[in-house]
Amino acid sequence: LLYLQFGWGWLDPLVSLVIAVVIVLGTWGLFRQSLHLAFDGVPEGIDLVEVHAWLSAQPGVVDVHDLHVWALGTSDVALTAHLVMPA
């Protein structure tokens, strides 16, 4: 209506861009979390150095290497590691 009445042809693309920016800003956090989960990133709140130290402190463990932690979903976490123990 504004285009027909006032000749504001530039208003439609401007409003479209504003709406697009609002959508991107509103979903950016969810998009980042989704990518982090899709690429098997270490879940927030898990400190690999602390996990490594805890595993190394266990009785009989001489060395820990190839430690990997990733999220299986929003509430499940998986861990793999090579623990070296004396023969």
Q: What are the pLDDT digits (tens) for 9-43?
A: 788 889 999 999 999 999 999 999 888 888 888 99
How much is the mean pLDDT over the chain? 90
Give pLDDT, residue 54: 97
Give Cα 10 to chain centroid, integer Å. Answer: 38
Domain borders along the chain are 1-39, 40-87
Range of lowest pLDDT (30-39, 59-68, 76-85)? 30-39
Residue 79, sorted as left (phi over 0), alpha (psi -120 to 50) or beta, turns out to be beta
Which residue in this structure is represented by tokens 């602390």? Answer: 50
